[in-house]
Chains A and B, each alone.
Chain A
Amino acid sequence: MKFIPHSESEKKEMLKEAGVSSFEELFKDVPAKKKLKQDLNLGKPLSEMQLRQEIEELASKNKNAKQLKLFLGAGCYNHFIPATVGAIVGRSEFYTAYTPYQPEMSQGMLQAIYEWQSHICLLTGMDIANASMYDGASACAEAMLMAKTATRRKKMVVAGALNPEYLAVLKTYANANSLELKEVAIEETGKAVDEETACVIVQNPDFLGRVQKLNELGKKVHEKGALLVVAIAEALSLASIEKPAGYGADIVAMEAQSFGNPMSFGGPHPGVIACREKLVRQIPGRLVGKTTDSDGKDGFILTMQAREQHIRRAKAGSNICSNQALCALASTVYLSTVGWKGLKEIAEQNHQNAEYLAEKLEAKGFELPYGKEFFNEFVVKKENAKELQAKLLEKGIVFGHSLSENKLLVAVTEMNSMKEIDELIEAIGG
């Protein structure tokens, strides 16, 4: 395939005009002994047709969501994506652009990010949202670093069931920053928080799917001058449950994959941080602001860059540079397409489908050990559940994420039709 336009004779002419006699001379600063004497072992170039065939073959070795009945969530959800998303994200004016450093030439992406920030603020009730983070887990870790800087304290508390992927990333970042990270049960949070606590991190709905009442927890955290960080792995839940701002969140660390981004084996997905206005100087990543041009006309620009690494260098609170802008664009188009009414309906459908499955499973003798206050995901318990899971896989059903021999975390979205749920129940058998 020809991605380089130069003919051989053109190369020769250009070498001459560049004042060198050969390619060898262009690389004269590379130590002679270190120059590769032979081609890399990477094979021959492929034609587009060969390439597609080879890669399609790899893709076909996977069982995708269209071939499976997927009841799996745990931080990544199979939601429907309207065609508008692909149409807009597929516009190369967006996807082949760099970070909008030149605002006059990048008003499109800048405005789209401003709209994304607005969407996230409206959904969470928070004052400020950034242009995106790598994912929900690293957003959570960066929220912890924000809390450290804002409070000048080094004790972090994780309350309740946090997604293990998020917890793992938190541990990595905490370790590198010499922060103390303590895990406690929700009920124990009050006791665990003291005047040295920077923040309490709590997921809602939690990893086990429970929608939590966090008002009291928020108060306890604030009494000690600590910040409440709310992690959200299923963004769609925001259309159904109380906004984090309502129960005292100071920072929301969120994964917005559910809005218009395919699962893609775990990425790329848009993470995001939203926070209270008082924390604006600590928020990491890009922020787009509205301003005016020299004629007084409205326009958008990357702003408050004094927080960022390219200005503050070693003193920056985060080193984030590239983010997940295109994924954020996908989410923006998704939200604008379905609208508020549509989003509520989708959330409602998720909840109803989940309730329907939960009921059916209970009738089959499954227990719901963590209750029924869930959104679209819940834990079921039954002897040998893991074995059953393996059996169902043979029938093309992925029945949840295994937590232990007898517990499964099961997710249901609008993509799991009533019929599909009935098929699952039938496959489980007596």
Chain B
Amino acid sequence: MKTIFDKGMDLSEVEVVRHYTALSRRNFGVDLGFYPLGSCTMKYNPKVCEDTARLDGFTGIHPLQPAKTVQGAMQLMYKLEKMLCEITGFARFSLQPAAGAQGELTGIMIMRAHFQEKGEQREKILVPDSAHGTNPASVSLCGFQAVELKSDSEGNVDLADLREKMDEKIAGIMITNPNTLGLFDTNIEKVCEIVHSKGGLVYGDGANMNAMLGICRPRELGIDIMHLNLHKTFSTPHGGGGPGSGPVGVVEELVDFLPVPLIEKNGENYEFNSKGKKSIGKVRSFYGNFGVMVKAFTYIKALGAVGLREVAEVAVLNANYLKEKLKPHYKLAFDRVCQHEFVLSDEGLANGVTTNDVAKRLLDYGVHPPTVYFPLIVKGAIMIEPTETETRETLNNFVDIMITIKQEAEKQPELVKEAPHSMPVKRLDAVKAAREPNLRWKE
């Protein structure tokens, strides 16, 4: 499709609206159908959350207005923080990080500040081989070296490897639990104990918190610092790549290191507290992605305690249901009860059909493909997270499609290898895009 610039930059309103409406029709969101993108928690985004976030009283306020004119917003942030503490067990949260990756960065900065204060030289952080790429990247960005930890045959952190690598030079571990294989690490308490015994800290990547809501609290498992993704667990929409929000929670002894300002309640008033002398400082301007916080707050209020627990239960139920249905047809990487997601492999598909081919063929069936080729420890990984908001009918339909694609791979492999056939474009040349970069419109 022509760009807006090809059409001229002084267009009438109808031309602009038609252009972007046409673009929207070349895009796929959760409202259009199943989106089982592993580790991204693409659940339905309730409409009421969009409405509340758009109230004039929230969109029309300036971050530097006097505090007495923004008490409602501050109260909402204060209450949201309390809710997140209740859900996870942490002492306090900073709502400032704008996304999960920025939450990680904040968390690692807190670890750094903690050891600086103690006068300890710790240069390395352990990261399991199943971790998201943001984990090792966050570690390096704070001047630490990432040391990879192996997974054991059950998909847990390999305790022997951990015992060998963990010493007084290691600042701690970044762990995702349930991990990116969708498995609850049965060694989690042991992992925390080993790291703590050498004075290290445990960072929890909260990307997969959906499976733990109301079931258990990360703090009680032994985690010291953790970010949440409001845009995953708490259903704020992903916006085609953001905005997200990545609040960071910590245990009592790390509270002083949190970014400033924090919100305190003083009598009936809410106040910004920027005094924290040990604070790592600010990671983002003002207070974070406030609009996203309004949506998450609305969501938690809508569901309440009972509803949140049901979220975790059904998310895990849907994942296990799909896993069992697909297991006879695709190789399952780890055959255990899974949590919110599970990982298949393309091993054994006929005629050299790969994970990428399956993903592209799914497009033709109107399903957004799962996360592919991640985690790296599974060959041709197909990582499926159905979430709790999908009906049994949708899941069954997906199973049928996956079985059909497998049969197509056997009988008509070209159909799968050349897919998609029904999208606005066919497979795109990624090599050309990188070698001959065309990153902007030119006259």
Contacts and interface: CB of A to CB of B under 8 A. Distances in A.
Nearest to A287: B439
A111 B305 contact: no
A41 B304 contact: no
Contacts of B20: 84, 88, 91, 112, 333, 336
Interface in A31-74: 31, 34-36, 39-46, 48, 51-52, 54-66, 68, 70, 72, 74
Please give me the 7 A-B residue pairs with the lowest Cβ-Cβ distance, nearest first: A266-B286, A59-B57, A61-B72, A326-B239, A108-B27, A266-B63, A96-B29
B247 interface: no
Contacts of A255: 285
Given A62-B57, A62-B61, A5 B391 contact: yes
A401 interface: yes
A182 interface: no
A357 to B, nearest CB: 17
Contact of B66 (A29, A87, A266, A398): A398
Interface string B313-325: 1101110110111
B25 interface: yes
A118 B5 contact: yes
B221 A31 contact: yes
A251 interface: no
A14 B55 CA distance: 40
B72 A59 contact: yes
B400 interface: no
Given A115-B441, A169-B285, A41 B305 contact: yes
A97 B238 contact: yes
Contact of B427 (A34, A35, A104, A309): A104
B280 interface: yes
A303 B243 contact: no
A114 B137 contact: no
A201 to B, nearest CB: 15
A18 interface: yes
A1 interface: yes
Contacts of B238: 96-99, 322
A88 B314 contact: no
A31 B86 contact: no
Contacts of A356: none
Contacts of B112: 176
14 contacts: A5-B391, A27-B215, A58-B72, A64-B60, A65-B62, A99-B240, A100-B240, A102-B368, A267-B243, A288-B439, A305-B434, A321-B99, A322-B231, A323-B241
B31 A60 contact: no
A263 B58 CA distance: 9
Given A61-B72, A65-B60, A104-B360, A114 B3 contact: yes
B415 interface: no
Q: Which of B105, B217, B297 has the most CB atoms of chain A within a 10 A radius of its CB? A: B105
B281 to A, nearest CB: 4
Contact of B429 (A96, A171, A293): A293
A90 B21 CA distance: 11
B286 A23 contact: no
Nearest to A70: B62
A92 B317 contact: no
Contacts of B433: 289-291, 301, 303-304
Interface residues of A, number: 169
A109 B22 CA distance: 11
Contact of B311 (A4, A35, A86, A318): A4
A249 interface: no
B11 A339 contact: yes
A268 B98 contact: yes
Interface string A104-136: 111111011111011001000001110110111
Given A105-B28, A115-B5, 7 more contacts: A15-B317, A45-B302, A78-B60, A102-B368, A131-B241, A267-B290, A321-B134
Interface in B375-411: 388-392
Given A3-B389, A42-B308, A172 B281 contact: yes
A273 interface: no
Given A62-B71, A309-B137, A26 B57 contact: no
Contacts of B145: 314
A280 B434 CA distance: 11
B171 interface: no
Interface stretch (B34-42, B158-166, B196-204, B344-352): B34-42
Given A135-B98, A322-B99, A299 B428 contact: yes
A312 interface: yes
B432 A268 contact: no
B56 interface: yes
Interface in B38-91: 40, 42-46, 48, 50-52, 54-66, 69-73, 75-76, 83, 86-87
A96 B30 contact: yes
A383 interface: no
A294 B418 CA distance: 9
B249 interface: no
A26 B319 CA distance: 10
B26 interface: yes
A101 B371 CA distance: 9
B109 to A, nearest CB: 5
A207 B30 CA distance: 41
Contact of B63 (A265, A306, A319, A320): A265
Contacts of B63: 76, 263, 265-267
A42 B305 contact: yes
Given A104-B427, A265-B63, A337-B16, A64 B432 contact: no
Contact of A325 (B239, B281, B427): B239
Contacts of A163: 285
Interface string A253-272: 00100000011111110000
